[in-house]
Amino acid sequence: MTYLSAMPQTATSWEEICYPVDSVLLADMLPEYDIIATDRQQLIVGTPPGHRKTIFGIQSSGYTIIPNEMIRQAVDSLFTQYELQIKHTITGEFSISIILPEELPIGGEHLRRSIIVTNGYNGKTPFTIQGRTLTADNGLPGGSMYRAVCQNGLMGWADSFTELGHYQEWLRGHLPGTFKGQQKKSGSSGSLEALPQLRRPKGNRKIDLDALQQQLADLLSSVTQENLTLTAMVYEHFQKKSMTRKEENVLSSLPIPVQLARQARERLRIEQNLLGVTPSYWLMYNAVNYALFNARSSLTLNDRYKLDEKVFHQFAALAFN
């Protein structure tokens, strides 16, 4: 089934996404019908501001709704000063950047530390903190940053590694081709699909809401305790690594839809003129990130994050090569 095309909308307040949401059994909605041959009998129903009641999805009995209001309460209990940058869709998906006052210098720019929380009511985008689900068992979540120029949160995709050398070694084992049609000198297949995913988010299954609030607060608190993250070091290298016109053609070989690649190229030119700088891997990655999270597409927010992670690793592999 083709997923509904949607353009992420931007919000800066909780009120726009903290609307009533609940589950309704199909049997209660259709009492005159016998419903058989499916385990999906739970309708997820919400009422967004200015809209009628909306059915976001049909889930099994094991699916747990995590209301955005619960996330809001946890955030407010931990932070007194923060800003919000929220990407959300009419299909009931949310990417919430909690922007903290602390600034981090990355090359010639100043980024702000942030925490990215994703959530969804349609079963397509699971609840995660920094790309990690509550049921994941891979240590504490990494960091993320907010870049005002593109108004997007940047996920800490390299933070699962403890040392830069370990990350570079991992990249060398899965280095994609430098340009489309070229073969890597080492003779590796160069397929980006070979890159192991550091995070495999699963849906909101069997989550105990009674215990969620404290767990959520603990995770949110933990991600503010790091200083300079490994991903930030990669960003600094991106800024130092200039990109020639020929190298810009790497856009055509990225694992993103052609239309998004075109929009990324346009965004690259805009940021060049805006900042008065030459192209770099930093600008290129941010251009792709901007296109991924602002363009209309049938991609879910979860899909966009998966592609963003792949693109980050591909650029890192090329930049460190």
Mean pLDDT lowest among 5-19, 217-231, 248-262: 217-231
Q: Predicted confidence band at 22 (pLDDT cuts at 50, 70, 90)? A: very high
pLDDT for position 264? 95
pLDDT for position 220? 75
Q: Give residue-wise pLDDT tens across range 204-250.
A: 555 666 677 777 777 777 766 556 788 989 999 999 999 888 888 88
Q: Give residue-wise pLDDT tens across range 55-97.
A: 999 988 888 899 999 999 989 988 889 999 999 999 999 999 9
* Residue 168 · residue 241 · CB < 8 Å: no
- For the chain, the three-class secondary structure string (H helix, E strand, C coil) is CCCCCECCEEECCHHHCCCCEEEEEHHHHCCCCCCCCCCEEEEEEECCCCCCCEEEEEEECCECCCCHHHHHHHHHHHCCCCEEEEEECCCCEEEEEEEEEEEEEECCEEEEEEEEEEEECCCCCCCEECCECCCCCCCCCCCEEEECCCCEEEECCCCCCCCHHHHHHHHHCCCCCCCCCCCCCCCCCCCHHHCCCCCCCCCCECCCHHHHHHHHHHHHHHCCCCCCCHHHHHHHHHHHCECCCCHHHHHHHCCCCHHHHHHHHHHHHHHHHHHCCCCEHHHHHHHHHHHHHHCCECCCHHHHHHHHHHHHHHHHHHHHC
pLDDT for position 68? 96
For 198, the token pair is: 């550091």
pTM of the model: 0.84
Please state, for a pLDDT cut of 90, what percent of the chain lies above it: 47
Q: What is the mean pLDDT of the chain?
A: 82
Q: Is the pLDDT of residue 38 over 50?
A: yes
Q: Predicted confidence band at 53 (pLDDT cuts at 50, 70, 90)? A: very high
Task: Give CA–CA dist 232/269, Å, rounded.
Answer: 24
Q: Give residue-wise pLDDT tens across range 150-185.
A: 888 899 899 888 889 999 999 987 654 443 333 233
